[in-house]
């Protein structure tokens, strides 16, 4: 007998993954809880993370599962003989690299600042027609660090400078930011507003850039 869920979304439909994403080294923790289709390709998951966490897709990225590395091989590839193979993220799905609840894998963004995120599969939920082609942010805390601030250590230092008006670099850092920055801020509603604009099952770089510019109220 076909279940009500299967009759709605089709037999063999992908489950929905609930993920906990934590920026490693952040204190207090910067984190997001997301729901995404289990058959999402890793390049689409990358776009979800950029929108939900707050990054601007200005640097290279990669997923790591054990010894395996997945990325956009048009930009990130093994340069020298003997370098570990980099697998094409567009060819692998979330449920292929993390088939079970409590599986963990990592997502690194910006190889200079090296923002390392730990992603844990909190739950694997039944297929759901309403969630089969979207990403949803359920919860989260704290703002994304500014790009190019020097990784977790540089970010901690930046916050200390911003809190101390007498610090010799206070004015310089405020000018460098170019905007008011609240490290405690995170808005689930606004995050989902922009996640809903993400095309399924593929999101081009141009499409992602348009979403991120809208999110950040940036005009060329």
DSSP code string of the chain: ---HHHHHH-TTPPPEEEEEEEETT-SSPPEEEEEEETT-BHHHHHHHHIIIII--S-S-EEEEETTEEEE-TTTS---STTSPPEEEGGG-BHHHH--STT-EEEEEE-TTTTEEEEEEEEEEEPP-GGGTT--EEEEEESPPPPTTS-HHHHHHHHHHHHH-TTSTTHHHHHHHH-S---TT---HHHHHHHHTTS-SS---HHHHHHHHHHHTT---
Say what the pLDDT of residue 186 is: 98
Cβ–Cβ under 8 Å, residues 69 and 87: yes
Judging by DSSP bridges, how do beta strands 86-88 and 31-37 pair with one another? unpaired
Say what the pTM is. 0.92
pLDDT digits (tens, 9 = 90+) for 38-62: 999 999 999 999 999 999 999 999 9
Say what the pLDDT of residue 219 is: 66
Q: How far is CA 191 from CA 63, 157, 176, in A?
A: 22, 27, 25
Q: Where in the chain is the domain with CATH 3.10.290.30?
A: 4-142+186-212
pLDDT digits (tens, 9 = 90+) for 89-117: 999 999 999 999 999 999 999 999 999 99
- Pick 4-142+186-212's CATH classification: 1.20.1250.20, 3.90.25.10, 3.10.290.30, 2.60.200.20: 3.10.290.30
Per-residue pLDDT, averaged over 189-201, amounts to 98
Which is more confident, 33 or 78?
A: 33
Say what the pLDDT of residue 4 is: 38
Q: In this predicted structure, which of 2-16, 20-34, 68-82, 137-151 has the lowest mean pLDDT?
A: 2-16
Task: pLDDT band for 84, please (50, 70, 90 cuts).
Answer: confident
Average pLDDT, the chain: 93
């Amino acid at each position: 007998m076909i279940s009500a869920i299967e009759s709605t979304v089709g037999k063999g439909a992908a489950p929905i993954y609930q993920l906990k994403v934590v920026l490693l080294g952040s204190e207090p923790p910067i984190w997001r809880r997301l729901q995404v289709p289990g058959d999402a390709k890793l390049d689409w998951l990358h776009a979800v993370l950029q929108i939900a966490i707050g990054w601007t897709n200005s640097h290279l990225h990669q997923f790591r599962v054990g010894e395996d590395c997945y990325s956009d091989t048009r930009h990130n590839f093994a340069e020298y003989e003997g370098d570990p193979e980099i697998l094409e993220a567009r060819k692998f799905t979330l449920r292929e690299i993390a088939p079970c609840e409590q599986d963990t894998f990592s997502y690194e963004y910006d190889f200079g600042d090296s923002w390392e995120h730990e992603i844990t599969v909190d739950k694997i939920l039944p297929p759901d027609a309403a969630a089969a082609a979207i990403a949803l942010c359920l919860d989260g805390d704290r703002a994304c660090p500014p790009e190019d601030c020097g990784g977790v250590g540089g970010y901690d230092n930046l916050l200390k400078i911003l809190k101390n008006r007498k610090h010799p670099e206070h004015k310089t850092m405020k000018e460098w930011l170019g905007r008011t920055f609240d490290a405690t801020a995170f808005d689930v509603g606004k995050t989902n507003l922009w996640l809903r604009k993400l095309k399924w099952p593929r999101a081009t770089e141009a499409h992602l850039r348009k979403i991120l510019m809208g999110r950040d109220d940036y005009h060329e």
